A and B are shown apart, each in its own frame.
Chain A
């Protein structure tokens, strides 16, 4: 199911990945590879384990009490679940944007963007300013906030906050960016803005995005996986999945017959 031909170099790979909440298995035996600088969408009915799966890819799932993960996730060939690997190094290389915009409270826009770098010990002001500017530009927010970098991050609108969170994630320059339904809390205009910027950042980053919105997946992604009940039913080029799915379940879902 996942052994499709891919022209890009593989950057991230899941092997027999399984995840539990207590006794409940939310993710079942996922095998998939993601190519460098591609946008990969994950779709499926709600509760199908797609968010949980995504949260396994940067080891944030294990932060919830009573959860466990089996299997491997290879980042450039190295298993991030290896005992010798420090989890913070994993997360520095695999960034994440969440469903609800969550800028840090009582922190300025500027601080929100550079906090990751600063807390890693980079304090040179010119470096931080440069990073902030370039990341805010990549997140298509620079023009809107360049005159008020010192106002609170939480004072922005929802869409702007989410772009700020994208800039914050980009600031530590991770090759892979995970996005967990980043537009589900936003209005259509804000959503369009974010879809636009994703096309831009694709030049430098690999994006894996969970979305409940099939049109969105079809619009922006190169590859799409379809999840049901913790299993990956189908994975392939988005153009194939949405026009000519191989599996009956996928076809039913994208044609709106269930889900």
Chain B
């Protein structure tokens, strides 16, 4: 793959990758930094592979496949790096709201940010980006039952939050 081809692919991927990076960190500046670092780490490790990979500019199917591959690889790299950097409580999830940022988190997103990084990542990619469970398994190297567990636990937590809101509404 030529340098300009990688530049073009990254131009298209930078927006969705930023969205993902943001839901992990909860801060725009830290999200941009995390994304850049994850990309650099990935490129240092895989540059030989990427340069050897032939990309025919006229083959749209191949381009789509490589773009998807790169997207998945970078999602995985970003999460891995976020897990290394974030506070330990973030990885498994805790009852308190936790993020990389010192800025206060908007009220409506508090429940989402109180989840661990894995459930957050899986829930976001599944609900917002429409990823399949199989894709998520592949990206995060999880078994199907583990992926579903993260997904359903996250869902349960969010739905539980909605129900508590309903209850508070009834009381008021």
Query: A and B: real partners?
Result: no
Chain B positions near chain A (C-beta within 8 angstroms): none
- A contact residues vs B (CB 8 Å cutoff): none
